[in-house]
Structure 1
Amino acid sequence: MASQLRGNDLRTLGFPEGRAIGLALAQLQRKEHKRLTQTEQLELLGRLVANPSDYLTDLAWSHTAAALLPPVSRHIALVERKDYAIFSAEHIEPGAIHQMETAMKLPVTVAGALMPDAHHGYGLPIGGVLATDNAVIPYAVGVDIGCRMALSVFDLPPKYLSQRVQELRSLLLENTRFGSGRGFERGQRLGHAVLESEQFRTIPFLKNKLDRAAEQVGTSGSGNHFVEFGLVEITAEGNEMGLPPGQYLGVLSHSGSRGLGAGIAEHYTKLAKDVCQLPGEAQHLAWLGLDTEAGQEYWAAMTLAGAYASACHEQIHRRLAKALGEKPLAKVENHHNFAWQERLADGREVIVHRKGATPAGRGVLGIIPGSMTAPGFIVRGRGVAAALASASHGAGRLMSRTRAKAELGEAQVRRHLAEHGIELIGGGLDEAPMAYKDIRRVMASQHELVDVLGSFTPKIVRMDGA
């Protein structure tokens, strides 16, 4: 084992005063580097300081290499904006359009589209779809990686929803958990194969994340995440769900990958910003090349977070089905906040980021929710190339969370919910129905993107909060 190198040893090699020395010394304390002899460590650092650009894609040394380079060497200029499709531009706030315009100027951008529910986010706007060339952008995937919708349809009559309100309310309280850090007590947890995934052992960043993931599997986040009992109405004959037209009881959930996905997003965004320094307005769009170790590692971590989000929904629906004493007749599930390897109509292979956008390839089923007092829609994608085979992921925000809290009152919202017969557990003013766009107008703006097979109308809703 090597004796410990000091700052002066690195200065002798040519390391400049500053951040690079501290980063390099910290990296040498990692197990794989402590095994090296001092001579081997010095040789490694000598190669690094002589050619830092060679190490910008090395997962272990990229931060140190970036600190060794002058800022101009790491700066990436934007290019001329590429054209993209906007669906219902008149209902999209200027901030979201500006963000999409910036994303279309990235040198790795190939194509893009903006959905009618779009609103301002970090990096890529929520409702933005972006195709890139061999590059993945963590903030174009989003913080809540793999966030998704899941619907279970049960052979129970509509009157069940009105006659058993308190029973269904109790089932939601007993079988769901919401909010930051919340999980099921140890004796109530359900195991899942996703917790055995090798990524928890092989990806350094994830090695201490398994215990928290095991605590939170089967639970939901805060914000706009929910679990609802409601009325499913199937209107399309011969649909892919195999359900005759009619009315059914449904369970609809919306949630993502909990703290696991958020941690992955933050970690790899910082790494991307270190090696891909963009102008200020584009800094949250820093990318990782998929031909780099860091890019491949993020992709594996993102895939795990997506599988984990799916596992959370699977357990939510399993618990509620068991509590109802019923097996679902059909299930529909789709995710957003993810990146896919896809082929464009012209044959080019690209990475398609859908941040708050529903996959709508030809024949692909999905759910586009409205608000607590407006129906959501069960849809079948039409694979429209201009939209990059995508559709909206909901109604989209009309008011920011801050504005909703400032302008709406508790009594006003309670009255609005009562008028629509909604039983709400938890929730806040920032998630009031009035804070969202008109889902019917949104659906009208994307009628060429999806076919509607049916609807889901919420009746008993649970969200984070007292």
Structure 2
Amino acid sequence: MKTITGTELIALGYKPGKWFAEALAHINENNLSEDEMSIYLEQFRLPEPLPLHAEPTEFIINIRAEHESEVDNVEKVINTMNTLMKTPTLVAGAIMPDACPTGPEGHIPVGGVVVAKNAIHPGFHSADICCSVMLTDFGKANPKTVLDTAQAITHFGYGGRPRGEQMPMSDELMDAFRKNFFLNDEKLISTARSHMGTQGDGNHFLFIGISKNTGNTMLVTHHGSRAPGAVLYDKGMKVANRFRIELSPDTLKENAWIPFETEEGQKYWEALQLIRAWTKENHESIHNAVLQKLNIEKQDRYWNEHNFVFRDGDLFYHAKGATPLDDKFLPDITGPRLIPLNMAEPVLIVQGTTNGRNLGFAPHGAGRNYSRTFHKKSLAHKTVDEIFAEETQGLDIRFFSNEIDISELPSAYKSAKNVRTQIEEYGLCEVLDEVMPYGCIMAGDVQKSAPWRNKKKYRVRK
């Protein structure tokens, strides 16, 4: 009988792949007839490419321009959602009052929630997987003492902690990483160990405030999964793009997905849960170290992600900066949820559930109307010290790098008042308490004094 080669398979309409060698060996070793070969090969036939939806899948708009400065932002958010919602997997969506675009049209905006059927879209959770907030109630502790202690313990900026200052990563979690296809990487695990107890840069913070209801001092941290999450995102996007090329080449690369029913989908979902566990442990390591240093027992603690993928049966809710309210999304969560606004505004403690407008989510913060660069240019007529003094009066605001970052000061964000008004107007959630600001720590302008900004000076210092 004639030996079948790859040329015959290509002639039958099959795209060359790793499976060719195994299939050819099976066909030739078993001397399959033409009909038998046709039946056997059908399992390898790719489905017809999925086209984009002709019209955007319907989504809910929970945002409106309160001021002329917000008009352009709202228009861009709606336009990007109109393009995004043509992605074949999407069945529902919503945008929150803090929404703002994050890239070219068609990319999911911050403040966006989209629901995909049997699909995980890495681009929809982005590199900052499981960006989240945790609150610990310190009782009647002095807020300045807590802030001073926390400053000596936490770590902001690029990279991880130096050797000798690292916080331990649990053995259980390291073992779980090693058993996962996406996370079984010793370099990644080493990075996860060094990044434990770190908060990164950008809009991440350590906030101290006083409960409006109880008068207790509260510590709130905001950060995500740091470099381990970024590495997982990069791996996930590469896998998703391979599926995109086969399943839906018309889909934007950033909107590619991993089918959940595939082996890759199952392993990626598992990896997301492990990165979530790492991030929670990261928050806890900082909070517990401050409690231990002050010899204080915590009164209460709760946390939630606002940048993650949540599952309900065969539906995957992708929240790009949106606070999950419905308990079905967070089976291990007890207590209310947290919505920080800006360093001069209270952190909102909220509760809620799924209703006709929110898909089970609320805003995650205040969002931005303008880019960081545009905001800095708009304040060029003032000195950094003048801006800082005006916007942080009465607050204890500290920057870990000792370089003020004006793109993180209150004026860089949308009006917190407007966001709160729209939360109430659209019935998104209920505010239970407010953590009134005392002070906070952020990374600061880590670019300003970065070694690569002055290579000559850096070389001399080395």
Range of TM-score over shorter length: 0.7 to 0.9
> Who is 2:417 aligned against?
440
> Who is 1:461 aligned against?
440
CA shift in 2, pair 1:295/1:77, >3 Å: same
Give the conservation status (yes or no) of the 8 Å contact 2:362–2:429: yes
Q: 3-state DSSP class of the match of 1:353?
A: strand
CA shift in 2, pair 1:13/1:416, >3 Å: farther
Q: 1:53, 1:170 → 2: CA distance?
A: 63
Is the aligned partner of 1:306 residue 2:285? no
For structure 2, list consecutive stretches of 5 or more residues without a partner in the other structure: 29-36, 328-333, 447-462
Q: 2:23, 2:77 → 1: CA distance?
A: 48
Q: 1:376, 1:45 → 2: CA distance?
A: 65
> Who is 1:105 aligned against?
86
Letter in 1 for 2:75: P
CA shift in 2, pair 1:170/1:155, >3 Å: closer
> Who is 2:398 aligned against?
424
Q: How far is 1:413 from its partner?
A: 2.6
Q: 1:367, 1:190 → 2: CA distance?
A: 27
**Aligned-CA RMSD value:** 3.2
> Who is 2:375 aligned against?
404
Q: 1:45, 1:271 → 2: CA distance?
A: 29
CA offsets, 1:171-215, max 9 Å, x none?
A: 233210112212253354234255334233331553231111111
Give the conservation status (yes or no) of the 8 Å contact 1:177–1:184: no
Q: How far is 1:279 from its partner?
A: 6.9
Give the conservation status (yes or no) of the 8 Å contact 1:200–1:206: yes
Letter in 2 for 1:339: V
CA offsets, 1:62-121, max 9 Å, x none?
A: xxxxxxxxxxx7674333212211112325532222221122212211111101101112
Give the conservation status (yes or no) of the 8 Å contact 1:195–1:214: no
Is the aligned partner of 1:286 residue 2:256? yes
2:360 to 389, 393, 398: 389
Give the conservation status (yes or no) of the 8 Å contact 1:194–1:307: no
> Who is 1:415 aligned against?
389
Paired residues for 1:370-389 under 5 Å? 370-389=341-360
CA shift in 2, pair 1:180/1:44, >3 Å: farther
CA shift in 2, pair 1:56/1:44, >3 Å: farther
Give the conservation status (yes or no) of the 8 Å contact 2:304–2:338: yes
CA offsets, 1:350-390, max 9 Å, x none?
A: 11111100011279611100111111200011322431110
Q: How far is 1:459 from its partner?
A: 2.2
> Who is 2:458 aligned against?
none
> Who is 1:116 aligned against?
97
CA shift in 2, pair 1:43/1:428, >3 Å: farther
Q: 1:83, 1:384 → 2: CA distance?
A: 16
Q: 3-state DSSP class of the match of 2:200?
A: coil
Q: How far is 1:444 from its partner?
A: 1.6
> Which segment drifts farther, 280-289 or 445-454?
280-289
Is the aligned partner of 1:182 residue 2:160? yes
CA shift in 2, pair 1:87/1:227, >3 Å: same
1:350 to 304, 315, 320: 315
> Who is 1:251 aligned against?
219
Paired residues for 1:182-331 under 5 Å? 182-183=160-161, 185-186=163-164, 188-193=166-171, 195-208=173-186, 209-234=188-213, 246-277=214-245, 282-331=252-301
Q: Percent identity?
A: 28
Q: How far is 1:406 from its partner?
A: 2.5
Letter in 1 for 2:342: S
Q: 1:391, 1:373 → 2: CA distance?
A: 21
> Who is 2:336 aligned against?
365
Q: 1:116, 1:131 → 2: CA distance?
A: 18
With the length of structure 1 as denominator, give the TM-score of the two structures: 0.77
CA shift in 2, pair 1:412/1:106, >3 Å: same
**How many pairs were matched up?**
402
> Who is 2:457 aligned against?
none
Give the conservation status (yes or no) of the 8 Å contact 1:381–1:451: yes
Q: 3-state DSSP class of the match of 1:247?
A: coil
Letter in 1 for 2:344: T
Q: How far is 1:138 from its partner?
A: 0.7
Q: 1:193, 1:141 → 2: CA distance?
A: 27
CA shift in 2, pair 1:281/1:289, >3 Å: closer
Give the conservation status (yes or no) of the 8 Å contact 1:422–1:460: yes
> Who is 2:56 aligned against?
81
Give the conservation status (yes or no) of the 8 Å contact 2:357–2:428: no
